[in-house]
Structure 1
Amino acid sequence: MKLVKDIELGDPSSNKQNFIGLKLNLLCCRYWLLDLWDCHDMVFPFWRLYWNKNAGGELIHQNKVYTMTPNCLYIIPPFTSFSSHYTKNHRYNDGIHVSGKHLTNDYIEKEYEDNHLIHFFVHFNLGVPFDNVYPGVFKIELTDYLEDRLHYLIERLKIENKDFKLTFNLKLHAFIKESLTNIGPELWKVINMDERVLKVIRYIEINIEQKLSNPKMAEIANMAPNSFARLFKEEMNITIQNFIQNRKMAKACDIFEQTNDSIEEVSFKLGFSDRYHFSRVFKSVIGLTPATYRSGRYT
């Protein structure tokens, strides 16, 4: 048998096709009984997908209250500032206060619906540039397809909460991607981003541990610093330095999730001179101290 290498990808057509590279990275997926969900001014560098089986959950973004219902999913892009409540047990008006436990088949869900929020959530990233879309809270009505996938996921999570099989991973990927297709086109303006800005964003991702100056970024884009700064702000709706700061904090969160590195080690990895400066920036961007974030006391 002869291995054919000459025809591009084995495609007999000369018609070039352009696909969008989407890198879905799952961070966590859980099914919980919550009795407390008082979280205020949270800002995280990853996507969040929420669904509650029963009433009582609220999300607040820019003074707008989203009353969560069982027939809808709620999707929150990275770097969106929002708050959450479980209305039947709302105690705190600031800070992050969460109390709950993993829901398994040992629990009869109906017995907990009156005094607990039955809560499914997923945290994930999509990769550059799709983790830098405009902030907001997006309400998605459950279709029959999504409801079927959701039922499978929560039933599996009640059995296995750690070592997921391939089928679960594939169905979770399909569930997230199908959910995202229901968000309006205004969210995805980054697809048509100026190539010079995209080139700089890719450079930032690869060199996130370095000190990244405006002149250096402008040089990569082959533009004058002031002109590039204006272009970047127009394209991304954020200044270049605030974007770099956000991406460094996103990388810090990823390191905290994936390793046991100390706060000092993470701060030096990301080009900070000391942990105190790093901690101040982390708190200003994420809304939590690095130590609180590492503890995982949020959902």
Structure 2
Amino acid sequence: MSHTAHIPSHRKPRQRASKSALRAGVAGGVLSTIAVAGAAGPAQAEPVTQTIEMPTITSGFSTAVAASAQATQQVALDLETQADEDAAAEKAAKTAKKAHAEAVRKAEAKKKAEAAAKAKAEAEAKERAERASRTSERTMLSASSGSSDSGSSASASAPSSSNVSGSAASIVAFAKAQVGDAYVPGGTGPNSWDCSGLVQAAYRTAGIDLPRVSQSQSTFGTQVSLDNLQPGDILYWGSAGSAYHVAIYVGGGEFVGAQNSNTGTVQRSLDYDRPTGAVRVL
């Protein structure tokens, strides 16, 4: 083989391939050239005069790569935008739901407050009407008591049976007029009472001054049987002289008393709370 033999070029038709494939082809051609030259011996080697044309990357490939990268970036941006929109929509839905629940709660609270205010106003109006009625009854009782006292002073000695009945009627009427008043420990009227305060005030309308406490009231007068009661008799619970509660017998098997803070002043049957004994003052 001639030392100047032509080394065929390994150039191939241009194809779209990666940079690594092109460089591999170039490297192979160079190695082949070196191998042939080496086989001829180092003494007789001559410079290689064949020029090997290096493949170049076309501008079309670069454009395609750039377009692909741009498309990928656009897809990423679109996904990020969609995620932001979904998050914003979810947040808006939660906010709207919370606002609706708060509006419903406020509406219910307002409705309850209005109902409570209406009920309170009605109760206050009813209480004012009841107080006005009791005040009117008390005024009439006071006038009746004054007339009874005048008649009594005109009589000679002990009061007649008619005067006693009149006093009992005054006591009973006063006691009934206080039904609905509050019970307050130590209360002596005019709109709140304890048990002995009510009894004392009722007897005062008949011109009789009773002791203040129930223990003393339970012995102020003549002890009578519960089977022989008359309107105006004082009922007591507990032992005579150590009674813990008193009330007024109003006839018909019923009594009026300032019971406790839960019931206030009530009119009840003797069977509701059977008394221990009774005393007659009139």
TM-score interval, normalised by the smaller of the two chains: under 0.3
Q: Which has the larger radius of gyration?
A: 2
The one of the two structures with greater contact order (alpha-carbon pairs below 8 A, sep at least 6) is 1
Richer in helix (by share)? 2
Q: Which has the higher strand share?
A: 1
TM (normalized to structure 1)?
0.21
